[in-house]
Amino acid sequence: MTTNQKTPGYTGDIAAQHNDPLQEYSAENQEIIFSAEQHSIWADLFAGIHQPYLMEHLCREYKDGLGLLELDPHHIPTVAHLNDRITPRTGWHIERTVVRYTLADDWYKKFAQRIFLITDYLRTRDQMEFTPEPDMFHDIFGHLPFLTQAFYARIEDKFAPAYMNATQDEREVIKRLAWYSTEFGLIVQDNRFKVFGAGIISGRKELTRTIMEFYRLGRDNVIDYSRPIFPQLTAHFQASKTNLHRIIDGVNALHQKGQMSSADEGWNVVLSLYKNLGIKQDGMFGGEVIIAPFDIETIARIPKTVYAFNPMLFVCESLDQMDELLDSYLKPIAARE
């Protein structure tokens, strides 16, 4: 396929970038010529996560999709490569965009047309562990393997029709439901916690922290992996729900005082909150992240200012359960006249 190719216009400096809609990529002009340095950043990010001891904690569907996507570990793929492997399988299309994530409404409008936007931004080398906003590595490596899978296309299909029909308050809840499922969700497979969310998969630091918590839960006898794990997690959650909600409120209060500036410090903030709130640092509160069942009431309670920071992650017992739980909130809104 011949396309007019663009030279990279993006420097990695988000603050300095002026988002000009006139610069938007057209249908015929989707590809970027990346520099050798950008390909090498991609290769290092890819190699950092594509390790057997990390991959074994990712859900089955992700690994199947990654195989189907045939990503080159050393080169950023073209949009054409991605569409050739995704569109015939699920009908979704990938489009390059200059639009940033903060503009959720634009994103959902495209979602409604089964178009998944990928940014033209790639983190720089000093942002390997933490990127201030999702970049194309997150979009491609984290999300797109799933878009070869019919069930994921079905899950992504749910959000836009509800979002377009929702009130402003409901839109905030919908964004959090998406955040704690497709971005930061966990599921149970083979009686183990597995990573589902693209935000965890595409971030080595998030991923290793999450996996450490899986092990910590076993080590501290919170979860006995020789017995069904989801009922155990549910029992811990029911017993700790009040404290969990106090933590959510506490994180929000700190956030509003400006005492949380990055994801990295966020984990420490939670630890100090335990002290201030008199919550004993054991059981499900014994690690650096709290893992709880996907409870819509709890997720909806997470304030707007906090949901982009992850003191807690939510687990569905299966992908079917995720399907049902999301439907229970989204379907009535989507069906509204």
**Spatial CA neighbour of 314 closest among 333, 303, 300:** 300
CB-nearer residue toward Fe ion: 198 or 315 = 198
CB-nearer residue toward Fe ion: 156 or 295 = 156
Minimum distance from residue 141 beta carbon to Fe ion (Å): 11
CB-nearer residue toward Fe ion: 177 or 198 = 198
Cα–Cα distances in angstroms (integers) from residue 56 to residues 131, 141, 184, 194, 312, in the given order? 24, 16, 17, 8, 22
Minimum distance from residue 233 beta carbon to Fe ion (Å): 25
DSSP string across 133-172: S--HHIIIIIITTGGGSHHHHHHHHHHHHHHHH--HHHHH
CB-nearer residue toward Fe ion: 201 or 229 = 201
| Cβ–Cβ under 8 Å, residues 105 and 129 | no
**Spatial CA neighbour of 300 closest among 187, 166, 200, 205:** 166
With CB under 5 A as the rule, give the number of residues binding Fe ion.
1
Integer-rounded Cα Rg, in Å, for the chain is: 20
CB-nearer residue toward Fe ion: 198 or 334 = 198
Minimum distance from residue 116 beta carbon to Fe ion (Å): 10
Minimum distance from residue 182 beta carbon to Fe ion (Å): 7
Minimum distance from residue 55 beta carbon to Fe ion (Å): 19
Minimum distance from residue 206 beta carbon to Fe ion (Å): 12
Site string for Fe ion, 148-187 (x = CB under 5 A): ----------------------------------------
Site string for Fe ion, 64-93 (x = CB under 5 A): ------------------------------
Q: How far apart are the first and last CA of the chain?
A: 43
> Measured between alpha carbons, how far is 230 from 227 in angstroms, rounded to an integer?
9
Q: What count of other Cβ atoms lies within 10 Å of the Cβ of residue 38?
A: 21
Q: What count of other Cβ atoms lies within 10 Å of the Cβ of residue 54?
A: 16
Which of the residues 219 through 278 are near Fe ion (CB under 5 A)? none
Minimum distance from residue 187 beta carbon to Fe ion (Å): 17
Which of the residues 181 through 220 are near Fe ion (CB under 5 A)? 198
Site string for Fe ion, 19-38 (x = CB under 5 A): --------------------
Which of the residues 102 through 141 are near Fe ion (CB under 5 A)? none
**Spatial CA neighbour of 38 closest among 147, 155, 127:** 127
Cα within 13 Å of Cα(143), Cβ side: 25
Q: Which residue is nearest to Fe ion (CB)?
A: 198
As a residue count, the chain comes to 337
CB-nearer residue toward Fe ion: 172 or 249 = 172
CB-nearer residue toward Fe ion: 284 or 306 = 306
Residues making contact with Fe ion (CB under 5 A): 198
